[in-house]
Chains A and B, each alone.
Chain A
Amino acid sequence: MSHGEQVRLGGAATLRRLAGLFRPVRMSMIGSFALAVAGVLAHLAGPRIWGGAIDAIPADFDHAGRLLLTAAGLYALGTVAGFAQQSIQYGAIARVMRTLRHEVEEKLHRLPVRYLRDASRGELLSRMTNDIDNVSTALTQTLTGLLFALLMIVGVVAMMLSISPLLTLLASIAIPLTFAVGTVVARRGQRLFDDQWRSTGELNAHLEESYSGHEIVTVFDRGGAFRETFATRNAEVRRASDLAQFVSGLLAPLVLFAGNLSYVLLCVAGAFSVIGGQLTLGGVVAFVAYSRQYSQPLGTLASLSTLFQSGIASAARVFALLDEAEEDPAGRDRLPAGRPRRITFEHVSFGYDREPVVKDLDLVVEPGRTAAIVGASGAGKTTLVSLLMRFHDVGGGRILVDGRDITSVSREALRSEIGFVPQEPWLFGGTIRDNIAYGRPDATRAQIEQAAAASGVSHIVDALPQGYDTVVGGADGRLSEGERQLICIARAFIADPAVLILDEATSAVDARTELLLQRATSRLRQGRTCLVIAHRLATIRDADVIVVLRDGRIVERGTHARLVRADGEYRRLSRYEAGEPGDRISRPGRPGPSAVRHR
């Protein structure tokens, strides 16, 4: 919500900015505009000409024939112009939308990680997909339609004036009437459609819960209660869409009625004009044909404006995203050559909001050594390593790599030194081979296979019918969580970084897969300076230094042996984990059959 409401541009500003997007394709747009004018003119000249033909009949068939041929020719020309115009315009819109999508995608890579932490992922995703789609749909459907409708109205009025100013005045009574009715209906419809989408959103949220929580609902037998909520929401959607549909459905009959009225008016008034000799019969028929042609574009104008407004609203949201503050680009230097690296945290403090997450933290990891970070969830472990990767910049103190402050180094140079194995194994939609090569785009086949072998991925690959070409990633659940983690390790392997950051997975992996993972990571750690976030103490017993974090501070540090001797927080943590006596799952003192079974 907070981001949705935040920087919303006004309608006019959004429109101007949207128009700005069309600058690169302005020649196409001008050309298509000219063609539209030509097309409309040709189309409009038609009735005037065949109206003349009606007057010529039956006296002069040759003249009538020539006129009709001219009309046919003009129509053909108009069609060609119309086709060319639409082609060019759609092409231009497609190009503009491609650029906008591209800009948004690039923006994603320049947004601070903090923004992504605050903004709801679903909301952001919806802006990057649904809103852009909506802008695209609105533009393609309305731009051509609006242009055509406007030109038609102008042209029709001009043609009618040229036949009879008096009748035009009469017909014009219907113009503001139709337009007013159209606008009222469209505006009211817009609000009702908002209502409809809101109630649909409510229904959606409820469905999401009942479907994804289906088993819980079943086990606790709450299907009835959920069904009731559903029925209420469902009825609400029906009510809202009843209104919205009906009101917007009024538009067409009303426009038609206005058209009919002016038709009647014109027929009667036209008849008197003919009797009075001011007009010919052909003129009246042509006039009536024109008047029929302008009530329709008026209706179009009204109905398209709803769609256009919804497109503008989406565009405002997309622009607001593009306007978000970007990562501070500070830092130009490169790190001096050398590996492994020494990492130093000096009085580092950091907080996402006012509440500090890391407080005055000092830590040195000597070259080639491994530091393990342990502590309860929320202690600041993941935050600490994201500071080293400069996902966020420190609030106080500094972080040094080989004595150089990392804020003076460009992010790209810094990150190219670091290998990262994330807590949640992320793979992109591509083959296993491509996913391993992600760590080093110029990797050879042999290097990929080497990394796979070193990380144990080769075992998985051998069991797959398509081997390295198996497509993974996305929502594809073919690989287990543990297997995906192994591929993430291979990806870090092939990058061959001087510094390794390993955020251990918390998800449940069976003991055997865990052993495989453990072997792979210890191989990966060799010869690199490592920071390991451990969720299970057993995996980091051999770390050179273990730091215990609590509420963003280091409360203990030392080797496993020392910390166990020290009998502090670490000792307590490891005792629980080992499941020592006193912490077992048996229920003493329970009566009945279980006691019998104990024997």
Chain B
Amino acid sequence: MRLVRDQIARHRRWFAGVIVFQLVSVVATLYLPTINADLIDNGLLRADVGHIRTAGGWMVVISVVQLLAAVISSYLGTRAATGAAHDLRSDVYDRIATFSRREHQDFGTPTLITRSTDDVQQIQEFLFTFGTVAVAAPITVLGGTYLALRTDTGLSCLIVVAVVVLGAATAMILRWMTGVSRRMQDRLDAVNRIVREQLMGLPVIRAFTRERFEAERFGRVNDELAAATRSMGRLRGTFVPVVMLITDLSIVAVVWFGGHRVASGHLPIGGLTAYVTYLVLILGAAMMAASGMMMSPRVMVAAERVQAVLDTTAALRPPGVPTGSVPIRGEVELRGVTLRYPGAEADVLSDIDLRVEPGGTVAIVGSMGAGKTTLLSIVARLLDATSGSVRLDGADLRTLDPAVLRGRLAIVPQRSLLFRGTVADNLRLARPDATDSELWEALEVAQAREFVAAMDGGLAAAIAQGGANVSGGQRQRLCVARALVAAPRVLLLDDPVSALDATTSARLLAALRTATAGTTLLLVSQRPVGVRGAERIVVLHEGRVVGDGTHRSLMGSCGTYRELVAAQDAIGVSA
């Protein structure tokens, strides 16, 4: 709830305005029955028509004042709540922008999105309700009680009793509801999870004719959800009748005891009617506060989730004052690079020494989990090494201005990712001032010219979110082209042809090598055969460099490399 408090503090002027106008509105609302009592006691009972008219006129004036105050306070409350939500979203976005891969993985993209929008929306709605209801309710209760006390002190213990009973009943129902609502949310998640699974696995389900099995699996959680919904409904169904019963019985009690007070002359009859109205107002306010509180378990969870993002400090930070020189040659050097995730038992990379001269090419091979992708990420400074350093032209990456580093280095990631926009937008992501002919050159090298030219609009052809409207192979080629548009000094390629057929990948790699002469290349490959002809191959095994040389020298000296090649050769002849 610290988060909510901070936001209220940040927008305190708006909230102060809300409180002032709510106060006016509540006082006006409470004042109406007081005038009415006066109307009855001094006008009606004395048959004073003039007094009735004056009192009535005042009541109209006060009603208008109340309306204006309520509208203004609602406006202020809205501004405050949406302003707070806007700022929260900004804070969350900026915080997430500092995250490195580790934080992204820890949270996961879907929940980061939910936290930035849905959770903040929850907080916004809560703040709005808080600004209006939560302020009005206590004022109404206090003011109403004060007026009731002024009318008749003796009767007021009734109000205290009613409020206490109502509060206790609400608290109890609320407590039950929190548990049931959590259970319901879990079941709902389970139902949605199974539906998602079924959608993804539809061909398999059909092929194995497991429709009935799936229906049963779904049926079980569906039944559980229905049961939880029923319990929830029962609790919700208890709430309103119970609150109404308490209100109604209180009125009956007021009439009974108040009647005696009237008989004994302690209370004018007009006072009694005002008293009934006060009671209705007070209990109504208490009920509003209670239904506002029904929101609070969900908001609490939402606030905690947003807070968790804001409390996360990225492990990776740019230097306070960049000191390194501006690299231009493209020499990459890893000195004793070791990476271990906190809490992990083994290093992902351990003590890696590797020097790539400017314009040099190194192919990195190794089996799954050997640390190939991690190594590229460290060179791109998407991750920082636990110990050791990565140097670009002799300067430690951690001392470089990120903008300088980014301008000199490009990457083709393992997972091909494009953005919503046009083909050109996606390519210019790498370099906004690239000309059309430069884009076509890059596409040519990436073996993408033909299909882009065939697309409706060519460079201006639309790309859907994530690149969903082009095939996996096309996506990968566009990613290669994007990296080429950057014209980097250092180019990192993470298995850049994995989704391409043999012909296309061979053409791409051949074109790449002519086009990037002078660029330092680090090329990761899952299969040694693809890079057999590379001038230098580095073999990674369990996070260590176990071989460094040409195909021929490694076949002689490196056991792991021989195994990798043998495994590859064995494929297809083992049957």
Q: Do these two chains interact?
A: yes
CB distance from A357 to the nearest CB of B (A): 14
A567 at interface (Cβ–Cβ under 8 A)?
A: no
Residue pair B233, A87 in contact (C-beta under 8 Å): yes
Question: What separation, in Å, do the CA atoms of A222 and B64 have in the docked complex?
Answer: 54
Residue pair A86, B237 in contact (C-beta under 8 Å): yes
CB distance from A509 to the nearest CB of B (A): 7
B201 at interface (Cβ–Cβ under 8 A)?
A: yes
Of the candidates A234, A271, A420, the one having the most CB atoms from chain B within 10 angstroms of its own CB is A271
User: Which chain B residues in 54-72 approach chain A with CB under 8 Å?
Assistant: 55-56, 59-60, 63-64, 66-67, 70-71
Kindly supply a per-residue 1/0 record for chain A positions 404-434, scoring 1 wherever the CB is within 8 Å of any chain B CB and 0 otherwise: 0000000110011011101000111100000
Residue pair B230, A94 in contact (C-beta under 8 Å): yes
Residue pair A113, B368 in contact (C-beta under 8 Å): no
Residue pair B252, A573 in contact (C-beta under 8 Å): no
A-chain residues with CB within 8 Å of residue B411 when the two chains form the complex: 215-216, 219
A208-B109, A510-B367, A510-B368 given; A249·B215 CB < 8 A:
no
Kindly supply a per-residue 1/0 record for chain B positions 504-544, scoring 1 wherever the CB is within 8 Å of any chain A CB and 0 otherwise: 11100110011011100001001111111111100000000
B-chain residues with CB within 8 Å of residue A162 when the two chains form the complex: none
B-chain residues with CB within 8 Å of residue A200 when the two chains form the complex: 117, 121
CB distance from A109 to the nearest CB of B (A): 4
Q: Known pairs A105-B218, A129-B195, A214-B99. 20 more at Cβ < 8 A?
A: A54-B269, A102-B218, A108-B199, A128-B199, A140-B233, A221-B406, A242-B79, A249-B132, A256-B29, A289-B276, A377-B473, A377-B499, A378-B471, A389-B203, A415-B207, A441-B213, A585-B530, A594-B359, A597-B360, A597-B536
Residue on B nearest A540 in the bound complex, by CB: B572
A444 at interface (Cβ–Cβ under 8 A)?
A: no
A-chain residues with CB within 8 Å of residue B256 when the two chains form the complex: 53, 64-65, 68
Kindly supply a per-residue 1/0 record for chain A positions 192-216, scoring 1 wherever the CB is within 8 Å of any chain B CB and 0 otherwise: 0000000010011101111111111
CB distance from B107 to the nearest CB of A (A): 9
A252 at interface (Cβ–Cβ under 8 A)?
A: yes
Question: What separation, in Å, do the CA atoms of A257 and B384 have in the docked complex?
Answer: 63
Q: Which of A2-10, A309-317, A346-354, A576-584 interfaces with chain B?
A: A576-584
CB distance from A531 to the nearest CB of B (A): 13
B-chain residues with CB within 8 Å of residue A252 when the two chains form the complex: 70, 74, 132
Question: What separation, in Å, do the CA atoms of A84 and B113 have in the docked complex?
Answer: 41
CB distance from B518 to the nearest CB of A (A): 7
CB distance from A520 to the nearest CB of B (A): 10
Interface size on B, residues (CB 8 A): 185
Residue pair B86, A58 in contact (C-beta under 8 Å): no
Kindly supply a per-residue 1/0 record for chain B positions 74-114, scoring 1 wherever the CB is within 8 Å of any chain A CB and 0 otherwise: 11011101110110011001101101010010000100110
Kindly supply a per-residue 1/0 record for chain A positions 250-264, scoring 1 wherever the CB is within 8 Å of any chain B CB and 0 otherwise: 101110110011011
Kindly supply a per-residue 1/0 record for chain A positions 483-523, scoring 1 wherever the CB is within 8 Å of any chain B CB and 0 otherwise: 00000100100010000010000111111111100110010
Q: Which of A223-231, A330-338, A447-455 interfaces with chain B?
A: A223-231
Question: What separation, in Å, do the CA atoms of A378 and B451 have in the docked complex?
Answer: 13
CB distance from B262 to the nearest CB of A (A): 6
Which of B71, B363, B406 contacts A585, CB < 8 Å?
B363
Q: Which of B140-148, B239-247, B333-341, B454-462 interfaces with chain A?
A: B239-247
CB distance from B139 to the nearest CB of A (A): 15
Jot down 5 A-B pairs with beta carbons below 8 A, ordered by A: A109-B215, A125-B196, A256-B29, A389-B207, A415-B209
Residue on A nearest B47 in the bound complex, by CB: A275
Q: Which of B151-159, B392-400, B412-420, B435-443 interfaces with chain A?
A: B412-420
Residue on B nearest A578 in the bound complex, by CB: B529
A-chain residues with CB within 8 Å of residue B417 when the two chains form the complex: 212-213, 216
Which of B222, B567, B574 contacts A101, CB < 8 Å?
B222
B-chain residues with CB within 8 Å of residue A164 when the two chains form the complex: none
B-chain residues with CB within 8 Å of residue A97 when the two chains form the complex: 226, 229
A50-B252, A220-B429, A539-B572 given; A586·B533 CB < 8 A:
yes
A-chain residues with CB within 8 Å of residue B312 when the two chains form the complex: none
B-chain residues with CB within 8 Å of residue A542 when the two chains form the complex: 572-573, 575
Q: Which of B3-11, B186-194, B295-303, B345-353 interfaces with chain A?
A: B186-194
CB distance from A347 to the nearest CB of B (A): 25
Question: What separation, in Å, do the CA atoms of A204 and B517 have in the docked complex?
Answer: 41
Which of A105, A217, A260 contacts B66, CB < 8 Å?
A260
User: Which chain B residues in 244-279 approach chain A with CB under 8 Å?
Assistant: 244-245, 248-249, 251-252, 255-256, 259-260, 262-263, 269, 272-273, 276
Residue on B nearest A260 in the bound complex, by CB: B63
Question: What separation, in Å, do the CA atoms of A419 and B565 have in the docked complex?
Answer: 31
B40 at interface (Cβ–Cβ under 8 A)?
A: yes
A87-B234, A576-B502 given; A50·B255 CB < 8 A:
yes
Residue on A nearest B218 in the bound complex, by CB: A105
B206 at interface (Cβ–Cβ under 8 A)?
A: yes
B-chain residues with CB within 8 Å of residue A264 when the two chains form the complex: 32, 56, 59-60, 63
A90-B233, A522-B574 given; A593·B535 CB < 8 A:
no
Residue on A nearest B234 in the bound complex, by CB: A87
Residue pair B272, A54 in contact (C-beta under 8 Å): yes
Question: What separation, in Å, do the CA atoms of A256 and B25 have in the docked complex?
Answer: 11
A-chain residues with CB within 8 Å of residue B471 when the two chains form the complex: 377-378
Residue pair B413, A215 in contact (C-beta under 8 Å): yes
Residue on A nearest B192 in the bound complex, by CB: A129
CB distance from A182 to the nearest CB of B (A): 15
Which of B203, B222, B498 contacts A102, CB < 8 Å?
B222
Residue on B nearest A238 in the bound complex, by CB: B86
Residue pair A271, B571 in contact (C-beta under 8 Å): no
B-chain residues with CB within 8 Å of residue A565 when the two chains form the complex: none
CB distance from A515 to the nearest CB of B (A): 5
Residue pair A238, B199 in contact (C-beta under 8 Å): no
Residue on A nearest B431 in the bound complex, by CB: A220
A189 at interface (Cβ–Cβ under 8 A)?
A: no
Question: What separation, in Å, do the CA atoms of A87 and B234 have in the docked complex?
Answer: 5
User: Which chain B residues in 372-418 approach chain A with CB under 8 Å?
Assistant: 380, 382, 402-403, 406-407, 409-411, 413-414, 417
Residue pair A209, B523 in contact (C-beta under 8 Å): no
Of the candidates B195, B358, B360, B382, the one having the most CB atoms from chain A within 10 angstroms of its own CB is B195
B-chain residues with CB within 8 Å of residue A128 when the two chains form the complex: 195, 199
Question: What separation, in Å, do the CA atoms of A311 and B248 have in the docked complex?
Answer: 33
A-chain residues with CB within 8 Å of residue B495 when the two chains form the complex: 508
B-chain residues with CB within 8 Å of residue A274 when the two chains form the complex: 44
Residue pair A79, B241 in contact (C-beta under 8 Å): yes
B430 at interface (Cβ–Cβ under 8 A)?
A: yes
Question: What separation, in Å, do the CA atoms of A250 and B78 have in the docked complex?
Answer: 11
A83 at interface (Cβ–Cβ under 8 A)?
A: yes
User: Which chain A residues in 103-132 approach chain B with CB under 8 Å?
Assistant: 105-106, 108-109, 113, 116, 121, 124-125, 128-129
A94-B229, A113-B202, A234-B90 given; A105·B215 CB < 8 A:
yes
A-chain residues with CB within 8 Å of residue B366 when the two chains form the complex: 510
Residue pair B222, A124 in contact (C-beta under 8 Å): no
Kindly supply a per-residue 1/0 record for chain B positions 453-482, scoring 1 wherever the CB is within 8 Å of any chain A CB and 0 otherwise: 000000000000110000111000000001
B357 at interface (Cβ–Cβ under 8 A)?
A: yes
A76 at interface (Cβ–Cβ under 8 A)?
A: yes
Which of B29, B252, B514 contacts A68, CB < 8 Å?
B252
B-chain residues with CB within 8 Å of residue A587 when the two chains form the complex: 361, 513-514, 516-517, 535
A237 at interface (Cβ–Cβ under 8 A)?
A: yes
Residue pair B502, A573 in contact (C-beta under 8 Å): yes
Residue on A nearest B280 in the bound complex, by CB: A292
A473 at interface (Cβ–Cβ under 8 A)?
A: yes
Which of A204, A214, A418 contacts B104, CB < 8 Å?
A214
Of the candidates A227, A272, A480, A507, the one having the most CB atoms from chain B within 10 angstroms of its own CB is A272
Question: What separation, in Å, do the CA atoms of A219 and B64 have in the docked complex?
Answer: 60
Residue pair A101, B74 in contact (C-beta under 8 Å): no
A362 at interface (Cβ–Cβ under 8 A)?
A: no
A91 at interface (Cβ–Cβ under 8 A)?
A: yes
Which of B121, B197, B410, B529 contacts A429, CB < 8 Å?
B197
B-chain residues with CB within 8 Å of residue A386 when the two chains form the complex: 203
A83-B241, A87-B237 given; A267·B413 CB < 8 A:
no
Kindly supply a per-residue 1/0 record for chain A positions 587-599, scoring 1 wherever the CB is within 8 Å of any chain B CB and 0 otherwise: 1011111100110
